[in-house]
Chains A and B, each alone.
Chain A
Amino acid sequence: MSHSISRTSTAKDQRVAPMKTPSSSLFGRWLGPERMQATGVKVAIIILFIWGWATIDNFASSSNLHAIMYSVAAIGIAAVGMAFITLSGNLFMLSMAATAALSTIIFASFLYLGLVPALLIVALVGLIIGLVQGVVVGLGGVNPIIATIAVASIVMGAGALYSGGLTIVGKGDASWLGVGQLGVFPNQLLLFLVLAIAAEFVVQRTRFGRELRLIGLNRTTATLAGIRVGRTLVLSFVIAGLAAAIAGSLFASQAAQGNLKLAAGLDFDAIAAVLVGGVSIRGGHGKIIDAAFGALFLAIVSNILLVKGLSFEIQLMVKGIVVIVAVILGALAVGLRKS
């Protein structure tokens, strides 16, 4: 990429393209300050996996590996959606759990139409919720955290009004998505992989993706350069809303039920995956696929804690500590880059 830019660049291009091209050396691509954390997480996944295999009974059993695959799918999809928001410099979307919760209810309510129509309706709802936030944040210039908290409560309120706070049992068959497998891999996991790779491609290789990263790096510059800021931000929120809706469908499909409590904690899990994976909170730096690896790392950590018999609260605290350490290390790595 760096070659093609330098060959065709005019003076104007250079002024408006502050995006740092990654060092072309192998060392810089994997271990430079920008990529250090993302590489570290991948190494940590391998080490944790080997360590678990060698020392923990039942860790490598097929049922436990399946448990990891199921737990990473929905959270991974949400994390991929969240990464769009973080990359665009808008920190986090705190309405993902609420959107996913509402989606479980809508999915269960419309399952009688069949799996695909139910998924389409859920996706439409997620799209609309994302669109509203994209317009408010991207065009209205509202602080993304506050706006998404407000939307989260509107969505939760609407969900509670619609369901009456009850569990909705779907009248239909969602087993393809819920428990179906292709060979040894759950369909949920394959869906996550396809979406993550597609999202990575979109962000790295399309105009929308380049604009998104440029806005995240420096919104003022991007605006001055004539980048379509509003439109790109709206689209990123739409994608995140869609991701939350799909994550909710995965939760709902496992038991063909919808309940507002099903997606509790999804915001935190997605944020944790994004931060641990090595996507910069300041925006612009990092890859979508990093968030997916972050989700995998956290799923393995949670699974090890679970297999070792630690309580849910302890798991929550360990995850919190992992996130805090990741944020501090990430901020220090940024300092390294500047010096």
Chain B
Amino acid sequence: MTTFTASARLRLVGGTGGALRLGLLIVAVVLFSLLVDNFGTPRNAYALFQSFALLGLVTLGLALTMLVGEFDLSVGSMVAVGGLITLKVGGADHLLLGMLAAAAFAIVVGLFNALVFSWLRLSSLVITVGSMIALGGFAYWLADGRVINTDNFDAGSLLDDSMLGIFSLRSLLTIAAFVAAFGLLKYTRLGRNILATGSRAAAAKASGVSTTAVYVVVFVLSALCASLAGSLLSISLATASATMGNNLLLQAASAAIIGGIALSGGIGGVGGVLVGVLILTALNNGLGLLGASAASMLFANGLVLLVVVLLDGRVGQWLKKLRRPAPLKSF
């Protein structure tokens, strides 16, 4: 923990298990291509990147909070609220305004999470479980028991028309967000402060890092990513509902941990998250093509999360010890 080398943590695939992670993705893709008829087609690659666009943005925001050793449980509800605000404010003609309104609301939520966290010094899990529930209630109030529609289908097709064969504007936007986050963490002072805070907040603070500013940035970015994901999804579907983000928190947490972000903070990189999201997306896409029901996907996603958190924790350390009999003395 004390040997802080930013470069080691920010390799393209991130962390020590980078090669393993990339291998897992390749194995998953190859296996599904062989087992499932339509998995390897360009059409399915496009569909895969469409789900990547949604999950990727949400996971990226969540991963930033995990990098500082905290956790934003409100991302799932924020996706629903973001989508609902976009369509309610935007109507048919002002969707961009709707997106801005959703973004403004997300900034307020992120500020609230970060400032209450910095003020009360409670676990961020406690504060964001509150915002998760409050935002869930707010989403139901916004939707008023209905599904909100928009008549503007042009914006949706602008976002979803395929580009370069397998991408769309929506998935390219998500990839751009990953590139921006990579740049932020690798080349800016703020990025280094984020990793330092995650490694050891007290030490970072003692060396002059404003940890409050770091918390504000990551929680605002996390809410913004979720809200943007919700806006884009609602425009692309031309509908928004209060249940839109239901299983996203689960998937995003799994993807981030598979991507090598440690729950303890300070460890992991954007590249790893990218691979983690792709692994989870490929898994769900493949299961879907195999005809798995929503219930069995829920079951599978929960199981995946449980296994990865177990490996992230004491069980993983124990397995590592088995592999390497001489324990590391300096930690």
Q: Contact residues of A with B, CB < 8 Å?
A: 91-92, 94, 136, 139-143, 145-147, 149-161, 165, 268, 271, 281-282, 312-314, 316-317, 320, 323-324, 327-328, 331
Contact = CB atoms under 8 A, between A and B. Distances in A.
Contacts of B293: 160-161
Contacts, number: 122
Contacts of B299: 153-154, 157-158, 161
Interface in B117-150: 120-123, 125-127, 129-130, 133-134, 137-138, 140-141
A150 B305 contact: yes
Per DSSP, chain B at the interface is helix
A154 B306 CA distance: 9
The 6 A-B residue pairs with the shortest CB-CB distance in the complex, in nearest-first order: A157-B299, A153-B302, A160-B295, A157-B298, A154-B302, A141-B314
Given A150-B250, A317-B141, A328-B120, A136 B306 contact: yes
A281 to B, nearest CB: 5
Contacts of A91: 123, 125-126
Interface residues of B, number: 42
A143 B263 contact: yes
B140 A313 contact: yes
Nearest to B121: A331
Contacts of B297: 157
B303 interface: yes
B118 to A, nearest CB: 12
Nearest to A161: B295
A160 B294 contact: yes
Contacts of B116: 328
B71 interface: yes
B213 interface: no
B122 A331 contact: yes
B141 A313 contact: yes
B130 A320 contact: yes
A240 B140 CA distance: 29
Contacts of B314: 139-142
Contacts of A153: 247, 250, 298-299, 301-302, 305
Contacts of A154: 298-299, 302-303, 306
A150 B254 CA distance: 9
Contacts of B313: 140-143
B309 A150 contact: yes
A92 B71 CA distance: 14
Given A142-B309, A157-B299, A327 B250 contact: no
A317 B138 contact: yes
A330 to B, nearest CB: 9
Nearest to A157: B299
A323 B116 CA distance: 14
Interface string B288-331: 00000111111111110110011011110000000000000000
A281 B302 CA distance: 26
A316 B249 CA distance: 21
